Amino acid sequence: MTDTQTMTLTVSERIDDRGGIARIRLTGDDLPPVSAGAHLDIYLPEVDLWRQYSLCSDPAETGFYEIGVLKDPASRGGSVEVHRIAQPGATLSVEGPRNHFPLEESAATTVLLGGGIGITPMIAMAKRLHALGKPFTLHYCTRSRDVTAFYDELTAAPFAGRVVFHHDDEDPAQKLDLGRDLPAPSPDTHLYVCGPQGFMDWVIDSAEAAGHATANVHREYFSADVDLTGDTFEVEARASGLTLTIGPDDTIAKKLAEHGIKVEVKCEEGVCGTCVTDVLEGEIDHRDQFLTDEEREDGDQMCVCCSRGRGKLVLDL
């Protein structure tokens, strides 16, 4: 992980857009540069949570960052808290930007697929690709035109002709059809997908079944349904000289913290990568959505917020 300092940023503007999405602009002194696909980590002190939000602002913009936040009452309280506190003039503790979803700018063909609030990183990517003069198509899927945030911006954008909207409640012919709307597989064709887990799994599975290389199907999960429970196993923190038992309802990160071994955890769902830890020995039961298949096969790192072990794990802690 790249170390970044905590910044105090000010909410300079807020637009409450369609579909319960707040578009929030953040300003501060000497903002670090941004690449398309980057996100910010925002700390919410009242609920003691860190949450990650993708940047939708132009990567070339140096005066502000913009994020889009869906108010989701079914979440663990992060988005509701952001909607409550992110009023003009408010200050937020922010880390980043970090980018685990980088854009392959040399691709000959790029297809961006956003479902709901998953559109946010796609907008930044579209702006960057347009600036580079690269061909791309942006597919934006929502339940209805009435809940389609950023609609006005995208229909007025200089790349509006490259944006295709798909709404569940309109003519079935305009719905996303992956057999029709995905290009033929090619080493120079890259796909990017972000949205609800079911949407992402459908796109990823369909793309790979059609022959697109896993490495060319880029994905970023903003949340995941993760099962944290499982059989009891042991974890040895070798550098610390401790061996701990992880029970069926424990997580490695929480058990380590109880014994004074601090591993930074933010999402608690295995999507942000903050807690990735080196594994020296043992069989990992991966539960995250962050590591790639290749990284999992290597067997030398894991997300300790949610993944588990089979038997005994030895960690480099």
pLDDT tens by residue, 254-289: 999 999 998 988 888 888 888 999 999 999 999 998
* Range list for CATH 3.40.50.80 in the chain: 109-220
Please report the pLDDT score of residue 267 as a whole number. Answer: 82
The answer regarding whether domain 233-315 maps to CATH 3.40.1190.20 reads no
Average pLDDT over residues 184-189: 97
Please give the Cα distance from 128 to 279 (Å, whole number).
37
Query: Could you identify the residue written with the tokens 């090619």?
Result: 186
Contact 163, 151 (CB under 8 A): no
Q: Which CATH number fits domain 109-220: 3.40.50.80, 3.30.300.30, 3.40.190.10, 3.30.160.60?
A: 3.40.50.80
Model confidence, pTM:
0.85
Which amino acid belongs to residue 78?
Answer: G
Average pLDDT over residues 243-251: 94
Please give the Cα distance from 47 to 96 (Å, whole number).
20
Q: Which CATH number fits domain 6-98: 2.40.30.10, 3.40.309.10, 3.40.50.1580, 3.40.190.10?
A: 2.40.30.10
Q: What is the DSSP letter of 119?
A: H
Q: Residue 208: phi, psi to the nearest 5?
A: -70, -35
Cα Rg for the chain, rounded, in angstroms? 20
Contacts of 161 (CB under 8 A, 6+ apart): none
pLDDT value at 136 more than 90: yes
pLDDT value at 28 more than 60: yes
Q: Give the long-range contacts of residues 173-182, CB within 8 A, separation 24 or more.
A: 175/141, 176/113, 176/139, 176/141, 178/202, 178/203, 178/206, 178/207, 178/210, 179/206, 179/210, 181/111, 181/137, 181/139, 182/111, 182/206, 182/207, 182/210, 182/212
Please report the pLDDT score of residue 2 as a whole number. Answer: 42
